[in-house]
Structure 1
């Protein structure tokens, strides 16, 4: 056997091959592929049989040049392995696929204006039909970067507003912050603390604002604000700070990971939830029901967020854009980490 000869791969069947096998013109094959109504059922069946027999796959790049439709959506996000952003991406991809789109993803370690602009230019080269920006920070929510884009843009951000071809959706993090705080107030707690995420996180800012608004509405004294980075370690560090001073009645942790670290710090200092202090988290991560104690938390509906985002893009592509933000309500999940103050 001569191993020096280059391997020649067989040519993939094309539209003309399908037309020849079915005994029709290539225009008829095109009409069948595009579900044109004016094709006889007998002819359609013959073309589909030829497609299956030959294993024909349409050239989507060529189709995009002709129809200006690529069937692809572009997604920009900050690079992160955190539960929230990862869950948003997965829900978005599933909703896009269900609607007949594929997703082209760019995750950025550097969210500078130059890198975001490069990602958007890449999507234009791919002829994507729409863009989704998961705007976890102000850099990604900067509307100047999307000005003049030839396709609709959906920004997933709790603090943005729709404008000039940019549409907005998000989980209602502010409402979630209010729900968590109202739960603690209804249990009789007066001295509250909040462990927030990074200062530049838009989600954390909205949750903190909900805590502040609901505390003020209940006439509570100003609570203690601590800052973490979403990690369990930062929640543990915040807990160590809290136990060095007078312990508050309750703590609203900005996510479940920080709540987990907080619970360990409390345990090591000889305190327990909910006997000495009530603790609420945010996210309802897998396993939150198996913390010790099971964690009361605010659940995000990522599936509805993904579907709503794709619906926004579809409406915009059909000339029916949404003029107001579309906010997905969260859900309070009550478990064993919170209890009435009088019950202690």
Structure 2
């Protein structure tokens, strides 16, 4: 199942004796400082390329909330779908040709809509508001430099993921991949820096996750979906205080439920902003009902800020579940707890 897959996923290397030592800034003397800087830069770029799938998913999310439309809703749904799959990296790489080409199409549409023409000259079948919600925004004789720059920046991560996918298809030979993986010495500066940073984030990222959960639950007006967030937070804290074993066994399931719920909240708020959806639901139910749930129409100029908090919370918890949960469970394993208690009793 997905829960067992998350539990078994060992994103980080096991804590060896060398990783438990204090990280040092000392470097070997067989390279000049210029060569070491170049080596560090190439190592960082290599890490970014290997993790480009995660950056691409964040770019999809950022693209969709920055430019709210039906066309960018595809990116939001695709990012959420890939995140909840058991092997999101594999599926993201496989889907990289699709969302890269799709991003290119959106970029071309943005370029064409930036021509020095007015909306009335194009003779669309729909009015300006409808076309903007579809994803075609015509600013009469206004430059489109900033939207093009942002979309090009997002698309850069798609190209990195596509490049990684092509390279892995080309280097399918296990021996070649093993040689590339071992090309960086275990005691090298970038590896020690990365291991130190991973160990630090593994210990304390859960505090960021819990803090974000509390922040989302008490932010602004109290509505139903924020009350549910508060219930999640209280359950997490109380279960930890009552039974450590139960809390440890249900931690992965808890975070998975939080992720699915956060995705539903984000998608619900996103879709409710479309005028056709809002009008249709208002005819069936009262506006006060949707307001009590937490669904309300937000002006387009502040919509990105409205969606920023749930999007950030989603990314933080995804990192906790898929990147730091395994290492955190190793840190708080029962054997470690018993050993620590015995040391305390002896002292």
State the TM-score, normalizing by the size of structure 2: 0.25
Largest Rg, 1 or 2: 1
State the TM-score, normalizing by the size of structure 1: 0.26
Higher strand fraction (1 or 2): 1
RCO higher in structure (CA 8 A, sep ≥6): 2
Higher helix fraction (1 or 2): 2
